[in-house]
Structure 1
């Protein structure tokens, strides 16, 4: 790795940390240069603007998430139901950590928000939809499950519930909310094991 590559990596790591902690709009290039002990000139040599930096942070973060999700999908040594729960837990955890940034981008940086939505469709929705379709084919999920609908339902619930303001209002943590959210979706689409029929009642007066 060259010195320029190392500097770029340091900038991206610090920018992601700052954006996740403080949101996008509150972070300035001055803040990053000061924290990195780097001149603004050097910072701008790697990224021409804060928006350009934000775009790369979004791209690298979602690429990392996509790789993690793909690894879960492809690990067929693990039972499908366990992989599905791990997939959703990974996705929900990412959204919980990114809630402040997501809210900020949607409100103050519409161009980056649109970029995020496009990349999310590519890295998350396509993988999740294909994974659910495979579950239907394998008989682990109900045959009438429409993967695209389930994906939209899950993402909508994650976006609306795993946010700091909502969690505070509900007086619950993301870790406490997650199992309930997971149960609402997954328990509704899993194939339920067949229950054995109840034992036949013997007519009255019949001896055992």
Structure 2
């Protein structure tokens, strides 16, 4: 069996389909309460088939979380690529992040927060997204659209709020859903950095 650039085994068509189904299930219902037996029954496959994806339930959960974030990142970049205006690009990026995270239920976010390997994947992806926002802002500064700001402070601020949104802290504190919180973050950033 061959491996991908990330070191994971290349998937058969059936395995790719199962990974997509697991992603959909986990996003809707979380993953902590499921056993491999439960998952096999829900997906109408054998546990052996699931073991071909990962060696344990924990490794399977990490693989599904990585799969979700890999696809979400690709979708966010695709939705952002068409924007030439720096301000619209920042807004499009954060709105695309909100859209990508919309399917993640409270149960999924709760399980992700309680599962340190999954939380590490989430935090890594959030840091990468914050760096991307910082780079987009840097592009806007270079183009003269945004005032000069400290990129590390902007990245830290964005990371902090994105982590709070993802954990549900912002929703609890403000009553805003994730998509609205990301739109507000985009507006706050743009008003704070616009010339």
TM-score by length of 2: 0.77
Are the aligned partners of 1:72 and 1:83 in contact in 2 as well (CA < 8 Å)? no
Are the aligned partners of 1:162 and 1:174 in contact in 2 as well (CA < 8 Å)? yes
Are the structure 2 counterparts of residues 160 and 50 from structure 1 closer, same or farther at C-alpha, using a change threshold of 3 Å? Answer: same
Are the aligned partners of 1:167 and 1:174 in contact in 2 as well (CA < 8 Å)? yes
Residue 58 of structure 1: aligned partner: 65
Secondary structure class of the residue paired with 1:98: coil
Residue 24 of structure 1: aligned partner: 31
Are the structure 2 counterparts of residues 159 and 97 from structure 1 closer, same or farther at C-alpha, using a change threshold of 3 Å? Answer: farther
Are the structure 2 counterparts of residues 73 and 133 from structure 1 closer, same or farther at C-alpha, using a change threshold of 3 Å? Answer: farther
Residue 184 of structure 1: aligned partner: 188
Over aligned residue pairs, what C-alpha RMSD do you find?
Answer: 2.7
User: Among residues 153, 156, 172, which one is paired with 1:149 in the alignment?
Assistant: 153
User: Among residues 134, 138, 142, which one is paired with 2:139 in the alignment?
Assistant: 134
Are the structure 2 counterparts of residues 73 and 177 from structure 1 closer, same or farther at C-alpha, using a change threshold of 3 Å? Answer: closer
Q: Where do 5+ consecutive residues of structure 1 fail to align?
A: 192-208
- Between Structure 1 and Structure 2, whose CA radius of gyration is higher? 1
Are the structure 2 counterparts of residues 7 and 57 from structure 1 closer, same or farther at C-alpha, using a change threshold of 3 Å? Answer: same
Secondary structure class of the residue paired with 2:132: helix
Q: Where do 5+ consecutive residues of structure 2 fail to align?
A: 1-10
Count residues with an aligned counterpart.
Answer: 184
1:86 has 2:92 as partner: yes
Are the structure 2 counterparts of residues 166 and 120 from structure 1 closer, same or farther at C-alpha, using a change threshold of 3 Å? Answer: closer
Are the aligned partners of 2:40 and 2:50 in contact in 1 as well (CA < 8 Å)? yes
Are the structure 2 counterparts of residues 22 and 183 from structure 1 closer, same or farther at C-alpha, using a change threshold of 3 Å? Answer: same
Deviations 1:31-78 (A, max 9, x none): 2211211111222233211222222222222222322333355435x3
Residue 34 of structure 1: aligned partner: 41
Residue 118 of structure 2: aligned partner: 112
Shift of 1:171: 4.6
Deviations 1:176-208 (A, max 9, x none): 4444333222211112xxxxxxxxxxxxxxxxx
